[in-house]
Structure 1
Amino acid sequence: MATSAGGGARVELFWHRMAIGLAVFIVFGFLQFALRGFVDPVAAPFWVHAHGVAMLAWLALLIAQPAFVSRDNLARHRQLGRVGGLLAIFITALGIFTGVASLILDRFPPFFTPAHFLALTVTESLVFGAMVAWAIRRRRATDWHRRLMIGATIVILEPALGRILPMPLMIGWFDIPIGLIQLAVVGIVALYDRRTLGRVHSATKAVAVIVIAVRLTIYMLSMTPPVIALAARLAG
């Protein structure tokens, strides 16, 4: 590494804190939703629980990886990285399956149209998987690797945000506040870039573009006749 041991530890501390912040926010979003009585965990299908466990494992991994780097335990970091790659594939596939199954079983939120829900779950799942794959390919370029891993998690903040924001009051335009909040999180990384690099890193810019592209893609797909027809068939 080009940085000193102390400097490297400070770098990893930022990413460690980012991971903890994202994890706390996501867990809080789902937990407060359940505590307010909006969901019955016992009645949820097993694949919903499997998806939840997989996401908790992902968040735990996101928190653990910077800690291993800061302790120079790169062997364990690489081992868990392989696990993380497999976990990301599982989360991507299960995310798509859960979205489709929710449509078939009429378990999706009533403020979503079937087409929007289908576009949302498939797009976010695929982009998450693609960003993790990109991060793994750039694992030797640690500046890109860190930002892409955090960016992949920012892309899937929407389910937690959907349980915190007053979604029924935002029908037709909820992609805007969700996108703005996601961009605000990217902005934290951008501020860190400016403070440490004197500029916004290209990877951070890429994450911001991806966040905007995801929201636009979901909105446009939800109005596409083939997607509308497919979602209608799935929803019965």
Structure 2
Amino acid sequence: MAGLLIAGFSLNIVMGRSSFERPIIVHAHAIIFMGWMVIYVLQNWLATKGPLALHRRLGWLALGWLALMLYFGTAVTVMNVQAGTVPFFFQPLHFLVFDPMSLIGCIALIGAGVSMRADTGWHRRLNYCGMALLVGPGVGRLLPMPLLIPYAYQSAFAVVLLLPVIGIVADWWRDGRVHPAWWWGLGGMIATEVVTEAIAFSPMGLSLYQAVTAGTPGAAIAPLAFPPSPLG
């Protein structure tokens, strides 16, 4: 998962699709989210190599870090929606909903994993599924998103679902059975997507979009229309 994120964002820079000339909040967002990736990888290393006491202490820091991610992730999403700079392969209203919902789903799954930390089998698998929900932006930067309109987001999400499937196959191969935590984790990921679609394509979603964009350039953009492609 870390490799997918690094590859996706590195490709973005190499292809000139990203610039360091962005508002400070975007840089803070990047540092916080990449910081989370480091924390997650480090936590896995500590859980297997030790010391476990440090793993446990860092776990509480990780929960606070998730709160920062929710704030900055939502703030950057709202900034792009208000400015009318949502990527052209996403519908603005859908983008406004699925970014924060992915974070909420991640926090819910990792929170469940932390609550079951006494049972390593559940703990690590639920945390894994929560982390998987955050890999979408990296996957999306590796896929030919313009060619996947109108299902670009759904295509990236489908690829993300392969991550827990890998874990399910690994369990079956190693143990001859699948740990039930995978079904709960996978179900939580799918539930996040179902709720996202239900909100985005409902009157509640439209009201949310109107409230967020009121008085901004985003108000002039059709909530569920794909923005014009810069490719012509």
Question: Quick check: TM above 0.5?
Answer: yes
Contact 1:114/1:228 (<8 A) preserved: no
**What SS does the corresponding residue of 2:88 show, helix, strand or coil?**
coil
Contact 2:148/2:155 (<8 A) preserved: no
Give the percent of matched residue pairs that are identical in Structure 1 and Structure 2: 26
Task: Answer with 220-229 or 32-41: which moved more.
Answer: 220-229
> Quick one: distance in 2 between partners of 1:35 and 1:102?
22
**What SS does the corresponding residue of 1:41 show, helix, strand or coil?**
coil
Shift of 1:64: 1.3
The RMSD of aligned alpha carbons is 1.7
Q: What's the TM-score once normalised by structure 1's chain length?
A: 0.84
The higher-RCO structure (CA 8 Å, 6+ apart) is 2
What runs of 5+ residues in structure 2 fail to find an aligned partner? 220-232
* Aligned with residue 90 of structure 2, among 112, 131, 140: 112
Shift of 1:232: 4.0
* Aligned with residue 146 of structure 1, among 105, 124, 128: 124
* 2:158 maps to amino acid: L
Per-residue CA deviation, residues 61-119 of structure 1 (Å, 9 max, x unaligned), is 11112222323411111111111111111112221122112211223212222211111
1:82 aligns with 2:60: yes
Q: What's the TM-score once normalised by structure 2's chain length?
A: 0.85
* Aligned with residue 101 of structure 2, among 114, 123, 127: 123
Counting only pairs closer than 5 Å after superposition, residues 1-236 of structure 1 correspond to structure 2 as: 22-42=1-21, 44-233=22-211, 234=213, 235-236=218-219
What runs of 5+ residues in structure 1 fail to find an aligned partner? 1-21
* 1:143 maps to amino acid: G
* 2:138 maps to amino acid: A
Structure having the higher helix fraction is 1
Shift of 1:194: 1.0
C-alpha change, 1:226 and 1:72, in structure 2 (3 Å) is closer
The runs of at least 4 aligned residues of structure 1 exceeding 4 Å deviation read: none
> Quick one: distance in 2 between partners of 1:52 and 1:128?
17
Contact 2:133/2:189 (<8 A) preserved: yes
Task: Answer with 45-54 or 217-226: which moved more.
Answer: 217-226
* 2:12 maps to amino acid: F
> Quick one: distance in 1 between partners of 2:140 and 2:71?
21
